[in-house]
Structure 1
């Protein structure tokens, strides 16, 4: 990510006034994003329109200062993560009920913004075992995937690669629609804890052929 102004914009949420802080820094000659969260929540998002099959491999590296003692992906009170990457997919109205379609239309009319559909959240979890898939406690439209768990690698850079298509199929039982956005987020509004995180080298690429 060359610049926070280059395709990335703030991702904020209704009724959350305390925001996480993001800045572009240099570490060992590399440009990375440092995030700090202290009882708040917000992120950075880049808007996309990509067919997942064309670029199914998401790669990045990240580092965290600590995990949250109260963090627990299984309940709302613990739904905080020192680091997460959020993949938002296109909303598919033909698969939604009447009330969901109506709610989304209201948001579009009032705010001029379309809500995404299903989402994958790659998280640095506290108690959720690494490799576990679990529905978000607020909505089953978002599935949490623990790619790191616990404090074993705290303070160290960890490189991750994920096959988005394979993960979506496992999470939702079908092929994914187009990707509409990728976000980074460090949040602590539920637990009230503090953490710093570093994100670097986020990329989408085609899967390598055997």
Structure 2
């Protein structure tokens, strides 16, 4: 979506406070901006809506979209090491009937979590390094490199790894697919290091951002999602 998640991550990471080394749990946030900044895009005026709500005595984030797109992001800096497990729970109201992870006009998901990694200039070409340097001089912040997206798809088999239709610098990993578990909380656990190696063929650089996204700007559909605490564990 939005000409690639690289642009998404760039917009989010060029602003905000100094990166943290831990994630603020949604269950302990005092406001929606407590550790998680808004993620909005140029030329997209219709945004998804996010709010803190309580379910079964636990505070979570509820996201709603009706043909819009926006998200929330936490700026962090963490060395993945040999193994780093990303854990979370989520729930969606429905899947998108016209969603298609292989096409730009279908690149929407009722729920997704993405992980942005530091740019590695020694592995990039001259022109890419030059463009990034110019952007950093303008924005004054570090721009991300590759990214992983953990998605709730509609048709692709679970564990499928597929390049984002806008950029192969973002690789999509299908964690849930189809409607069998819509309307119920689902616990997830992913080894970021193993996933990055499978997607990009090498060990990951530092993580510099983690975001949540419920979007429908390409399909024009509607969905509601709930996100529980996201944690990182060695």
TM-score range, shorter chain: over 0.9
How many residue pairs match? The answer is: 206
Q: Which runs of 5+ in 2 are unaligned?
A: 1-25
Aligned to 1:189: 217
Equivalent position of 1:32 in the other structure: 60
Which of 42, 65, 84 is 2:93 aligned to? 65
- On the 8 A contact 1:186/1:197 being kept in 2, the answer is yes
Of 3, 6, 9 in structure 1, the residue corresponding to residue 37 of structure 2 is 9
Which residue does 1:99 correspond to in 2?
Answer: 127
**d(CA) in 2 for partners of 1:162, 1:34:** 22
> What stretches of structure 1 of length at least 5 have no aligned partner?
none
Distance in 2 between the 1:92 and 1:12 partners?
A: 25
Cα displacement (A) at 1:128: 1.4
- What is the TM-score normalised by the length of structure 1? 0.95
For residue 106 of structure 1, report the CA deviation from its aligned partner: 2.4
Q: CA deviation at 1:95?
A: 0.7
CA contact under 8 A between 2:83 and 2:194: conserved in structure 1?
no
Work out the CA distance in 2 between the residues paired with 1:143 and 1:117.
12
From 144, 149, 152, the equivalent of 1:124 is 152
Matched, 1:168 2:190: no
The counterpart of 1:45, out of the listed 57, 73, 79, is 73
Q: Residue in 2 aligned with 1:151?
A: 179
3-state SS of paired residue (2:133)? helix
SS in 2 for 1:118: strand
* C-alpha distance in 2 between matches for 1:48 and 1:143: 20
The one-character-per-residue Cα deviations of 1:24-75 (angstroms, maximum 9, x if unpaired) are 1000101100001111111100001100127600000000000011101011
Q: 1:136 aligns with which of 136, 158, 164?
A: 164
Partners in 2 of 1:96 and 1:15 — Cα distance?
28
- Residue pair 2:83, 2:193 contacting (<8 A) in 1 also: no
Task: Check whether the contact 1:65–1:196 (CA below 8 A) recurs between aligned residues.
Answer: yes
In 2, Cα distance between equivalents of 1:94 and 1:13: 29
Query: Runs in 1 of length 4+ with deviation above 4 angstroms?
Result: none
Distance 2:59 2:83 in 1: 23
Q: Could you list the per-position Cα deviations for residues 135-169 of structure 1 after superposition, in whole angstroms to 9, with x for gaps in the alignment?
A: 00000000000000011111010000000000000
